[in-house]
């Protein structure tokens, strides 16, 4: 099986290669086989990409917004026409089952392009009357921007950044995770096909040093990162040096609170979605599942039965509902956390092992009797490991839910609507759900608080993160000077 792209990078409107860069094998996580090989960007490729982005930006920004929007909308339709081929690409790049990549990854990418393509022509300022004189504001593009992505939703991450950036008149150089270089590269080709001029959206490959070179470049006015908290700190520092804007979508250890009056089957479904989708490699996962003590036994019984029915298998088989982790290193990390859970006294309800098949699989795993101080309850695992913690009162569970440095997401399951809003209102998290979990439609802003990040993506308000306000005072009469 091979999926070799035309070249490693897409720069200034064309696929570009520079074999002098470090060779990076692309591994299909379900088998461990190499399906492609790319090269990390050399300084020459980075220079080309940044220079092209800087050269293209003024003309891109000067287009009528409706014309910029049309390019994005056209790209959305090209993606929809090629849905099946792109789902397969995403599955091979990430190992995620095709049953997921058909509905989640490129479809979300198309939604973002369509949504921000439509918004492009609505971006405007305001007129401020001053009793004779007046002022107006404009929302102007930032200029050259940089996107840096993680490996769990590589194409969606690229589109959630590129679509609003481009809609607002910015240009972007994007660096995917070196583990999943293929999706963003394909997106660059599709955007060009849809009419994006050379330099408007470029993709360069590489590891953290390439990301750092981009984030620290003097031409760059904004950096948008999806990644871990330690990387977020580094990128934020680099951005601060040049007074660049930054949007940081980082990790989490989010609470999912299930009250005794909840629809228990829906709550089990929510907990499974929030822990096992994409084999648990989702930043907003509700990995601390707080269950009211009176329903804990019943919750665990239903959860175990449904978890046992998960179909672990070949991601290209449409009946598979659970695939491998991204890499051997990630599997080792997750297995280390499972070992820590056992060692620290959590009760293994189901899973914990490694399926007998090639690839980087770990079984969907549920621990009960988890306490707040255990390693598995404190640290982001980024794998299919659910921690169930019992609670007795609303006040107690709110305090425990908030006892974390993270603040990405939270969920509440209850039939008591007043309680649902009260509890979610008191949990410090950026993206929350009531009687649902992990749905992230592009119309809704998404982002975290505390150590989980800065700013947000998606929704109409993303425009604020990809433009800046410029004000113009307009004098209507003479100038009243005191001299």
- The reply to whether 207 sits near ligand NDP by the rule CB under 6 A is yes
Which of 5, 107, 453, 455 is in the footprint of ligand NDP by CB under 6 A?
453
Q: Which of these, 452, 411, 451, 417, lies nearest to 432 by C-alpha position?
A: 411
- The reply to whether 40 sits near ligand NDP by the rule CB under 6 A is no
Interface mask (CB under 6 A) for ligand NDP, residues 161-200, using x and -? --------------x-xx----------------------
By CB under 6 A, how many residues form the interface with ligand NDP? 30
Q: How far is the CB of 378 from ligand NDP (least distance, A)?
A: 14
Q: What angle do CA 261, 263, 266 make, to 5 degrees?
A: 145
The answer to whether residue 387 is catalytic is no
What tokens were used for 65? 């917004």
CB atoms within 10 A of CB 425: 10
- Closest to ligand NDP by CB, 5 or 251: 251
Active-site residue (options: 96, 161, 175, 222): 161
Q: Which of these, 381, 428, 385, lies nearest to 407 by C-alpha position?
A: 428
Active-site residue (options: 48, 90, 100, 249): 249
- The reply to whether 275 sits near ligand NDP by the rule CB under 6 A is no
- Do 86 and 186 touch, CB atoms closer than 8 A? yes
The answer to whether residue 161 is catalytic is yes
- The reply to whether 236 sits near ligand NDP by the rule CB under 6 A is no
Piece of 12-20, 56-64, 226-234, 307-315 that binds ligand NDP (CB under 6 A): 226-234
Strand pairing category for 127-129 and 409-413? unpaired
Interacting residues with ligand NDP between 293 and 332 (CB under 6 A): none
Return the residue nearest ligand NDP (CB atom): 211
Measured CA to CA in angstroms, residue 119 lies from 106, 124, 170, 194, 448 at distances of 20, 10, 14, 17, 23
Q: Is 90 left (phi over 0), alpha (psi -120 to 50) or beta?
A: alpha
Which of 202, 226, 247, 404 is in the footprint of ligand NDP by CB under 6 A?
226
What tokens were used for 419? 């309680």
Measured CA to CA in angstroms, residue 3 lies from 83, 92, 345, 383 at distances of 17, 8, 44, 26
The answer to whether residue 432 is catalytic is no
Q: Which SS3 state, helix, strand or coil, does residue 351 take?
A: coil
Q: How far is the CB of 327 from ligand NDP (least distance, A)?
A: 9
Burial class (CB in 10 A: 0-12, 13-18, 19+), 293: exposed
- Do 437 and 273 touch, CB atoms closer than 8 A? yes
Tell me the C-alpha distance between 453 and 228, whole Å.
9
Q: How far is the CB of 347 from ligand NDP (least distance, A)?
A: 26
- The reply to whether 426 sits near ligand NDP by the rule CB under 6 A is no
Tell me the C-alpha distance between 251 and 8, whole Å.
28
Q: How far is the CB of 139 from ligand NDP (least distance, A)?
A: 24
Q: How far is the CB of 398 from ligand NDP (least distance, A)?
A: 22
Which of 21, 107, 147, 227 is in the footprint of ligand NDP by CB under 6 A?
227
- The reply to whether 448 sits near ligand NDP by the rule CB under 6 A is yes
- Closest to ligand NDP by CB, 11 or 215: 215
CB atoms within 10 A of CB 266: 15
Which of 56, 79, 109, 148 is in the footprint of ligand NDP by CB under 6 A?
148
Active-site residue (options: 292, 296, 380, 457): 457
Measured CA to CA in angstroms, residue 406 lies from 30, 121, 231, 234, 378 at distances of 31, 36, 15, 17, 10
- The reply to whether 156 sits near ligand NDP by the rule CB under 6 A is no
- The reply to whether 108 sits near ligand NDP by the rule CB under 6 A is no
The answer to whether residue 96 is catalytic is no
Q: What are phi and psi of 329, to 5 degrees?
A: -60, -40
- The reply to whether 381 sits near ligand NDP by the rule CB under 6 A is no
Catalytically active residues, by annotation: 161, 249, 283, 457
* Interacting residues toward ligand NDP by CB under 6 A: 148-152, 175, 177-178, 207-208, 211-212, 215, 225-228, 231, 234-235, 249-252, 283, 380, 382, 408, 448, 453
């Amino acid at each position: 099986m091979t999926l070799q792209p035309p070249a490693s990078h897409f720069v200034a409107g064309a696929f570009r290669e520079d074999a002098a860069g470090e060779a990076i094998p692309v591994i299909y996580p379900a088998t461990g086989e190499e399906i492609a090989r790319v090269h990390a960007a050399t300084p020459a490729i980075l220079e080309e990409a940044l220079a092209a982005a800087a050269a293209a930006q003024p003309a891109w920004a000067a287009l009528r917004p409706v014309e910029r929007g049309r390019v994005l909308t056209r790209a959305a339709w090209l993606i929809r026409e090629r849905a099946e081929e792109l789902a397969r690409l995403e599955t091979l790049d990430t190992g995620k089952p095709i049953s997921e990549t058909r509905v989640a990854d490129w479809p979300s990418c198309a939604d973002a392009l369509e949504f921000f393509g439509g918004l492009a022509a609505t971006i405007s300022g305001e007129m401020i009357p001053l009793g004779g004189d007046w002022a107006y504001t404009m929302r102007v593009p930032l200029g050259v921007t940089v996107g840096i992505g993680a490996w769990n939703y590589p194409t969606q991450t690229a589109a959630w950044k590129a679509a609003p950036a481009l809609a607002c008149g910015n240009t972007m150089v994007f660096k995917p995770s070196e583990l999943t270089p293929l999706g963003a590269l394909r997106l660059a080709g599709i955007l060009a096909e849809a009419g994006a001029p050379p330099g408007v959206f470029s993709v360069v490959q590489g590891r953290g040093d390439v990301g750092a070179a981009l984030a620290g470049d003097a031409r760059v006015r904004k950096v948008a990162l999806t990644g871990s908290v330690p990387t977020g700190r580094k990128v934020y520092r680099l951005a601060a040096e040049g007074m660049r804007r930054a949007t940081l979508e980082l990790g989490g250890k989010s609470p999912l609170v299930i009250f005794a009056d909840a629809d228990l089957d829906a709550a089990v479904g929510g907990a499974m979605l929030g822990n096992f989708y994409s084999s648990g490699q989702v930043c907003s996962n509700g990995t601390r599942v707080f269950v009211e003590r009176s329903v804990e036994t019943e919750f665990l019984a239903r959860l175990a039965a449904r978890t046992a029915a998960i179909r672990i298998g070949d991601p290209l088989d449409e009946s598979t509902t659970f695939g491998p982790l991204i890499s051997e290193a990630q599997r080792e990390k997750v297995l280390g956390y499972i070992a820590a859970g056992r060692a620290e006294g959590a009760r293994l309800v189901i899973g914990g092992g490694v399926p007998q098949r090639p690839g980087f699989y770990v079984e969907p795993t549920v621990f009960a009797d988890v306490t707040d101080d255990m390693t598995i309850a404190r640290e982001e695992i980024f794998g299919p490991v659910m921690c169930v913690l019992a609670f007795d009162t609303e006040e107690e569970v709110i305090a425990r839910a908030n006892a974390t440095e993270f603040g990405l997401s939270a969920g509440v399951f209850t039939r008591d609507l007043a309680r649902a809003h009260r509890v979610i209102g008191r949990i410090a998290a950026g993206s929350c759900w009531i009687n649902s979990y992990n749905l992230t439609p592009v119309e809704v802003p998404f982002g975290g608080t505390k150590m989980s990040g800065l700013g947000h993506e998606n929704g109409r308000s993303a425009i604020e993160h990809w433009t800046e306000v410029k004000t113009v005072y307009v004098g209507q009469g003479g100038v009243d000077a005191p001299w």
